[in-house]
């Protein structure tokens, strides 16, 4: 099927070689463009079922983030700080010549997306953002601190701390790597029905390079583009309450609860495709 034919290129960005994949019709007037950014421990293959649906009518761009999938870094593990990840995202957009892009991010891809839409380079390039299971890191910290300062918020805070406990485990040297090699990768691949190979080990640097600051958290940059936050209600890692407070700095916000888990984009790809076609 022509719409599903893959066009691959490589983009160089800050010590990384990023594998970029395009599908569907090339950029043209009247052809909407989507940029899909995956999270941990996946690569662009997470979105392939949805891409097969969308590429009939959309120009679709996906890429393996640095050191995931077919992407690589010159000196592993490389620079995984959020600023560098956002630079990668804009490097991919520049290489494809895309404009008025609907950005869709899942997990760490969504975290990058939140930072991207607050970046001045987004103006005229990113026209819409859909976030799935990945909060803005500054908002996440502000949300946690607001609950910590109010007894009524403690139940939500404790529940989210339990959901996030794996992040502390990922900081331990060598142990997470051993767990992924011994059994976690096999369990994940069997449950997900797709290969992740050594992505889980290569991507641990995401958590080790982006620790939460202990001081004052800077105020968010107001976001003017339309933002849709998809909230899988069965997500074991993120509380649905995390959307509270977004309207104070996101002008055009839509929150859509869905019946699914953290990997909703893969398990409910037809729903994702339908949502993106309608936006």
**Secondary structure of the chain in the HEC alphabet?**
CHHHCCEEEEEEECCEEEEEEEECCCCCCCCCEEEEECCCCCCHHHHHHHHHHHCCCCEEEEECCCCCCCCEECCCCCCCCHHHHHHHHHHHHHHHCCCCEEEEEECHHHHHHHHHHCCHHHCCCEEEEEEECCCCHHHHHHHHHHHHCCHHHHHHHHHHHHHCHHHHHHCCCCHHHHHHHHHHHHHHHHHHCCCCCCHHHHCCHHHHHCCCCCCCCCCCCCECCCEEEEEECCCCCCCHHHHCCHHHCECCEEEEEECCCCCHHHHCHHHHHHHHHHC
Tell me the longest C-alpha to C-alpha distance in the chain. Answer: 57
d(C-alpha 157, C-alpha 194), whole Å = 33
Pairing outcome for strands 7-13 and 16-23: antiparallel
Beta-carbon count within 10 A of 94 CB:
13
Question: What's the pLDDT at 217?
Answer: 79
Question: What's the pLDDT at 4?
Answer: 59
Question: What's the pLDDT at 23?
Answer: 97
Give the list of residues 6+ apart from residue 76 with CB closer than 8 angstroms, or none: 67, 202
Smallest CA-to-CA distance from 10 within 66, 60, 86 is with 66
Question: What's the pLDDT at 212?
Answer: 72
Question: What's the pLDDT at 113?
Answer: 98
Q: pLDDT tens per residue, the chain (279 residues)? A: 444 589 999 999 999 999 999 999 998 889 999 999 999 999 999 999 999 999 999 999 999 999 999 999 998 889 999 999 999 999 999 999 989 999 999 999 999 999 999 999 999 999 999 999 999 999 999 999 999 999 999 999 999 999 999 999 999 999 999 999 999 999 999 999 999 999 999 999 999 999 876 667 788 999 999 999 999 999 999 999 999 999 999 999 999 999 999 999 999 999 999 999 998
What residues are paired with 22 via a beta bridge?
7, 61
Beta-carbon count within 10 A of 193 CB:
8
Question: What's the pLDDT at 83?
Answer: 96
Question: What's the pLDDT at 216?
Answer: 76
Report pTM. 0.96
Tokens encoding 57: 């009518």
């Amino acid at each position: 099927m022509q719409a599903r034919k893959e066009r691959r290129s490589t983009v160089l960005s800050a010590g990384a070689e990023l594998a970029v994949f395009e599908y569907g019709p090339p950029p043209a007037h009247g052809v909407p463009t989507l940029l899909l950014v995956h999270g941990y421990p996946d690569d662009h293959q997470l979105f392939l079922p949805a891409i097969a649906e969308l590429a009939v009518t959309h120009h679709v761009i996906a890429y393996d983030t640095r050191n995931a999938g077919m992407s690589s870094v010159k000196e592993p593990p490389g620079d995984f700080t959020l600023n560098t990840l956002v630079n990668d995202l804009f490097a991919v957009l520049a290489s494809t010549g895309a404009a008025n892009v609907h950005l869709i991010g899942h997990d760490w891809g969504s975290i990058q997306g939140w930072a991207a839409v607050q970046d001045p380079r987004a103006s005229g390039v990113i026209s819409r953002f859909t976030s799935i299971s990945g909060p803005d890191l500054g908002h996440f910290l502000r949300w946690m601190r607001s609950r910590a300062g109010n007894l009524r918020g403690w139940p939500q805070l404790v529940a989210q701390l339990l959901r996030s406990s794996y992040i502390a485990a990922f900081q331990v040297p060598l142990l997470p790597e051993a767990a992924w090699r011994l059994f976690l990768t096999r369990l994940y691949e069997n449950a997900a029905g797709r290969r992740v190979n050594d992505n889980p080990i290569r991507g641990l640097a995401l958590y080790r390079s982006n620790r939460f600051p202990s001081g004052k958290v800077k105020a968010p940059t107001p976001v003017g583009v339309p933002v849709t936050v998809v909230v899988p209600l069965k997500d074991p890692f993120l509380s649905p309450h995390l959307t509270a407070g977004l309207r104070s700095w996101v002008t055009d916000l839509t929150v859509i609860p869905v019946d699914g888990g953290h990997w909703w984009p893969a398990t409910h790809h037809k729903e994702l495709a339908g949502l993106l076609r309608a936006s």
